[in-house]
Amino acid sequence: MPTTPKSRAIQIILWLLPFLPLTSLAYHYDGLYMYMIAGAIQAVLMAVAAWVLGLGDARRGMTQQRGLAAAATVLIASGAIISLGWNMGPPPAGDQFLATQLDQQFRYTALLIGGILAMGGLTVLRSSLEQAGDRTWSSLGHTTMLLSTLLFAVVNAALQIGFEALRQESSTGREPSWVEPFRNYFVYLTIFWAALAYMGTAFYAASLRKVGWMGKAAWVSIGGCLAAVALVPFFPLAPGPLGMPGYLLCIPAVPYFMPYWMGVNLARRAGEARAASPAAKAA
């Protein structure tokens, strides 16, 4: 069934919703209450858009449509939660970082929960892909993303250690001796996590293309992910402008937006597949 202008418009809106300043305008340091309300409103808007895009139709479909809808639902939910960490902006430095500890804990917890949900959605998707006839690419994607998610949990825990480093520096006036080796460890761990996340997403895009659930967009996803894998190492190896793309690609929220966009595409496909099914036409 061809994509209608209405579904395309809703799809684009869903693609952009995590980046619209609906929540960031409501945030100020040490002011999570209004921010959480704005985040809830954004999540409701995303849920309504996803339901209209295809999830509402897919729930009455066959097993395959319901499987796609389930994967899409979890991936879109992961994007809604990841955007809570993203829209808080860059974390402050020094004493202000310590003064907003609750905010930063909320940020990194949201990112971790969003990452785990993304892994859950991709796991559900893997099952549907295997039923559709692909085991190789989906298995590679699942294994790679599982390793990436485990590393991200370690990265997230390492971020929490940063609080202790700042506390010691604030109380003594000098940086603890263990901070420099820890910083190097953290940077390279982040690179491995991000590279695996992009590579796993590329494997899933290849699987979706193989079973016919993604067209030209699959090549765009694969190319974008492979370019990210190539750029990420420049973050520590090329300080300055050359390392900036790698630095941006390693921001904890960024690798998970591609699975989110994949979930939006799956929601549309699940709805269209349901509408094109013989049962729907007979009704």
Question: What's the confidence (pLDDT) of residue 73?
Answer: 95
Q: How confident is the model at residue 275 (pLDDT cuts 50, 70, 90)?
A: low
- Return the number of other C-beta atoms located less than 10 Å from residue 43's C-beta: 19
- Exposed/middle/buried for residue 210 (C-beta within 10 Å: 0-12, 13-18, 19+): middle
Which residues are within 8 A (CB) of 232 and not within 5 positions of it... i.e. 6 or more apart? 191, 194, 195, 198, 246, 249, 250
161/144: higher pLDDT: 144
Which residues are within 8 A (CB) of 79 and not within 5 positions of it... i.e. 6 or more apart? 18, 46, 114, 256, 257, 259, 260, 263
- Taking residues 74-86, report their average pLDDT: 94
* pLDDT over 80 (residue 242): no
Q: 56-81 in b/e burial notation, b at 16+ Cβ within 10 A?
A: ebbbebeebbbbbbbbbbbbbbbbbb
Q: How far is the C-alpha of 180 from the C-alpha of 25, rounded, in Å?
A: 35
Question: What's the confidence (pLDDT) of residue 283?
Answer: 44
- 3-class SS string, the chain: CCCCHHHHHHHHHHHHHHHCCCCHHHCCCCCHHHHHHHHHHHHHHHHHHHHHHHHHHHCCCCHHHHHHHHHHHHHHHHHHHHHHHHCCCCCCCHHHHHHCHHHHHHHHHHHHHHHHHHHHHHHHHHHHHHHHCCCHHHHHHHHHHHHHHHHHHHHHHHHHHHHHHHHHHHHHCCCCCCHHHHHHHHHHHHHHHHHHHHHHHHHHHHHHHHCCCCCHHHHHHHHHHHHHHHHCCHHHHCCCHHHHHHHHHCCCCHHHHHHHHHHHHHHHHHHHHHHHCHHHHHC
Question: What's the confidence (pLDDT) of residue 93?
Answer: 74
Summarize pLDDT for 190-224 with one digit per residue, the tens: 999 999 999 999 999 999 999 999 988 899 999 99
Residue with tokens 């960024």: 254
Summarize pLDDT for 26-71 with one digit per residue, the tens: 887 767 888 889 999 999 999 999 999 989 888 777 778 888 999 9
**pTM for the whole structure:** 0.89
